[in-house]
Amino acid sequence: LGPLLILCGSFIWSMSLLIAKKLTTTESNASMTFWQAAGLIPATFIVAIPFWSTPNLEQLFLYLLVLLVIGGIILHFGFFLY
């Protein structure tokens, strides 16, 4: 079963790359990124439901702190690049 899943995954990935290459002629990068993420959200949500565990307040605080630190670093260096 493992090798078959690897073959199917590589085929689907190659098709995704070909579709993305074809779409670059008519769509912007932002549009392609948005629609790819919008398409992946339902698929990953369905797979994630059985494994979901609601974070407690400590974990939630830690996630938000990490996001703030990463966002601050990106914004800090982003101003120098702009």
- The model's pTM: 0.50
pLDDT in tens, 6-29: 999 999 999 988 988 898 899 888
Distance CA 82, CA 77 (A): 9
Dihedral over Cα of 7, 15, 34, 24: its sign: positive
Distance CA 82, CA 78 (A): 6
Q: Is residue 1 scored above 90 in pLDDT?
A: no
Q: Which residue has the higher pLDDT, 4 or 78?
A: 4
